[in-house]
Amino acid sequence: MSNTALQLPVQGTLGGQIDETLATFRDEVEGKLGAWTEARTPVAFRQMELEVARQCRGMADEIVACILAETVSDPAFELEVSVAARQGGLLRQGGRRDVTVTLLGGREVRLSSLEYLKRNTRRKQRGRPRTKRGKGGTGLYPTLAALGVCYGVTPALAGEICAQVADSDSVRSARSALGRRDIDLGHKQTLRVVNAFAGRAVAQRNAWLEQARQRRPQRSLVKGMRVVVATDGGRLRERLYKGGRRKANGHRNYDAPWREPKLLTIYVINGKGDVIDPFRPVIDGTMGDCDVIFPMITGYLRALGADQAKQLILMGDGAKWIWERVEALVKEVGIDRSKVAEVVDYYHATEKLGEIAAIPVKWSKADKTKWLRRAEKLLYDGDTEQLAAHIDTLAVGRRAKKISALVPYFTRNHDRMQYRSFAARHIPRGSGAVESAMRRVINLRLKSNAKFWKEENAESMILLRSYLKAGRFDDLVDWSIAAASPWCPENRIPRLIKGLS
């Protein structure tokens, strides 16, 4: 890749500059056309195709550079955004400076833009001279920020970098994939873009969910539909620095305890219980505990207008932290309680039966199979009273206490284990959606014995991967860059959660 700053035409109209760019591109293509047409082997043809694509990316960057330079230098636009930047009196003009911006194709363009600095609100102390400048990175380039250009890259490039880093198994793999498109900002700058962009998106999402919980949406995106909500916990390892001196290799001592991130998924089903394809699922998560994930669920349901849904189905395993918060969730969402169905995942329940059957060590395989078949039939029928009695037949001797402790799992979830009735009403009986989301979002990227995460970085990665795997990543990028700009009126900010596509 060549990241040398593009040489922009110094005069002429925008149309003339683009014509000049296209003419230069045409001359370059004509100069290489002879060599390209000589590509008569598979390897040569592949190399030719890659070179043509690289050439076209360079042309695209040159056109974008011309448009960006024209927009940034427009006096009317500069005045408009500068007035907006000075509102509140927290910024002061710092003069015009040259700024380097990296474009989607990997090329750099150098622009001249007005800079505004944060005003020092602290009162000067008499007789105490200022000896050094304030913290770097506190300035603002209003004309660039109004276009979503932040962290030294265009919004399209920022989104592409974040998507690739979130989708790859490591930053190194992501940089390799980006490099095939002539994009390589280096390891540190790549991480800086991802952490800054995703950290901002996390803060914006949290604020948006809080607002969604406080106000009723203008229209329901799921009116008359059957909405399924599932939540579960996963596992990853956190990096907790101990402090003290660094080691000889420059690393610091840290602990790596296991943490349980929480994940949610929301999707829509039809009358037969099948997932409705046009409605893309909502997936999101947090490093917080159960008291963090449930307000998030409430916020998403409020934003979707779930109070007007035909039915709300809540899925999960038998964990107490899920079901003891359902009543508060239903009340906050505002849906009629009679429209709410609670379901404990059938496969988690059968796994619990398997754990019980494994306790007697002297059972033959035939005895174990016979007991499990009877237990699973009682479970599917929803007869938890008979199931508890069936389990109690094993509670003898030294294993009695251990087996009896597992019985309340079934008795307290009696109404949530009416699987035959659920099947007749086409209500899902398994939480495979959230289990699949957990694997794709957490396990394949964040969970590994060799990966240790700072809490804030894990939170950011969970958000990026959640929206990426739900097919909503572009919505997140558009919404975040619009919400970050004070010059974007609220009615022009895209919705974070869109309905039927």
Q: Given this model, what pLDDT does residue 488 score?
A: 67
Instruction: Name the band, by pLDDT with cuts 50, 70 and 90, for residue 260.
Output: very high
CA pair distance 26, 81, nearest whole angstrom: 37
Q: Which residue has the higher pLDDT, 81 or 435?
A: 435
Q: What is the pLDDT of residue 442?
A: 96
- The token duo for 277 is 């394809």
Residue 305 has pLDDT above 80, yes or no: yes
**CB < 8 Å & 24+ apart, contacts of 278-283:** 278/500, 278/501, 279/225, 279/499, 279/500, 279/501, 280/470, 280/471, 280/472, 280/498, 280/501, 281/433, 281/437, 281/470, 282/470, 282/472, 282/497, 283/437, 283/441, 283/466, 283/467, 283/469, 283/470
Tens digits of per-residue pLDDT, 268-285?
Answer: 999 999 998 888 999 999
31-35, 299-303, 360-364, 411-415: lowest mean pLDDT where?
A: 360-364
Question: Residues 124-140: what's their mean pLDDT?
Answer: 53
Range of the domain at 351: 347-417
In the prediction, which pLDDT does 185 show? 92
In whole angstroms, give the CA distance from residue 447 to residue 62.
Answer: 41
Q: Is the pLDDT of residue 74 over 80?
A: yes
Q: Does 406 reside within a domain?
A: yes
> Closest Cα to residue 109, out of 2, 1, 5?
5
At 83, the pLDDT band (50, 70, 90 cuts) reads confident
- pLDDT, residue 13, reads 86
CA 381/CA 387 separation, integer angstroms: 10
For residue 224, being part of any structural domain is answered with no
Whether 387 is in a domain gets the answer yes
Q: How high is the pLDDT of residue 221?
A: 92
Phi, psi of 356 (to 5 degrees): -65, -45
Query: Taking 70 as the threshold, does the pLDDT of residue 104 lie above it?
Result: yes
294 pLDDT more than 60 = yes
pLDDT beyond 90 at 3: no
Residue 383 has φ and ψ, to the nearest 5°, of: -90, 75
Binned at pLDDT 50, 70 and 90, residue 5 comes out as: low
Cα–Cα distance list, 50 to 56, 64, 173, 182 (Å): 10, 21, 20, 11
- In this prediction, residue 363 carries a pLDDT of 83
- Of the pLDDT bands very low, low, confident and very high (cuts 50, 70, 90), residue 134 is very low
The answer on pLDDT for 203 being more than 50 is yes
Q: Say how far apart CA 68 and CA 214 lie, in whole Å.
A: 39
Report the pLDDT value the prediction gives residue 492, as an integer from 0 to 100.
Answer: 74
- Residue 27 inside a domain? The answer is no
| pTM: predicted TM-score of the whole model, two decimal places | 0.89
Residues 191-197, mean pLDDT to the nearest whole number: 96
**What's residue 255's pLDDT?**
86
Per the model's pLDDT, the better-predicted residue between 266 and 92 turns out to be 266
Helix axes 346-357, 365-381, angle to 10 degrees: 150
Which of 109-123, 232-246, 466-480 has the highest mean predicted lDDT (pLDDT)?
466-480
Pairing mode, strands 340-344 and 311-316? parallel
The answer to which of 25-39, 358-372, 378-392, 456-470 has the lowest mean pLDDT is 358-372
Q: What is the pLDDT of residue 131?
A: 44
Per-residue pLDDT tens for 315-360?
Answer: 999 889 999 999 999 999 999 999 999 999 999 999 999 999 988 8
Q: Report yes or no on 377 lying in a domain.
A: yes
- What whole-number percentage of the chain has pLDDT above 90? 66
DSSP annotation of 382: T
Mean predicted lDDT score pLDDT of the chain: 88
**Position 135 pLDDT exceeds 60:** no
- Work out the average pLDDT over 366-389: 94
What residues have CB less than 8 Å from 427, skipping those under 6 apart? 273, 313, 341, 343
Question: What's the pLDDT at 91?
Answer: 72
pLDDT of 1 reads: 40
- As a whole number, mean pLDDT of residues 292-300 equals 96
Percent over 70 (pLDDT), the chain: 91
Q: What is the pLDDT of residues 215-226, one digit of tens each?
A: 887 789 999 999
Q: What is the pLDDT of residue 136?
A: 47
Among residues 352, 425, 356, 418, which one has the least CA distance to residue 384?
Answer: 418
State pLDDT tens for residues 454-498. Answer: 999 999 999 999 999 999 999 999 999 999 886 666 667 888 887
Return the pLDDT at 360: 84
**Is 255 among the domain residues?**
no
Domain contains 306: no
Q: Mean of the pLDDT values across residues 148-167?
A: 95
Which range (2-11, 418-427, 483-492) has the least confidence? Answer: 2-11
Residue 133 pLDDT: 47
| 467 belongs to a structural domain | no
How many domains does the chain contain in total?
1
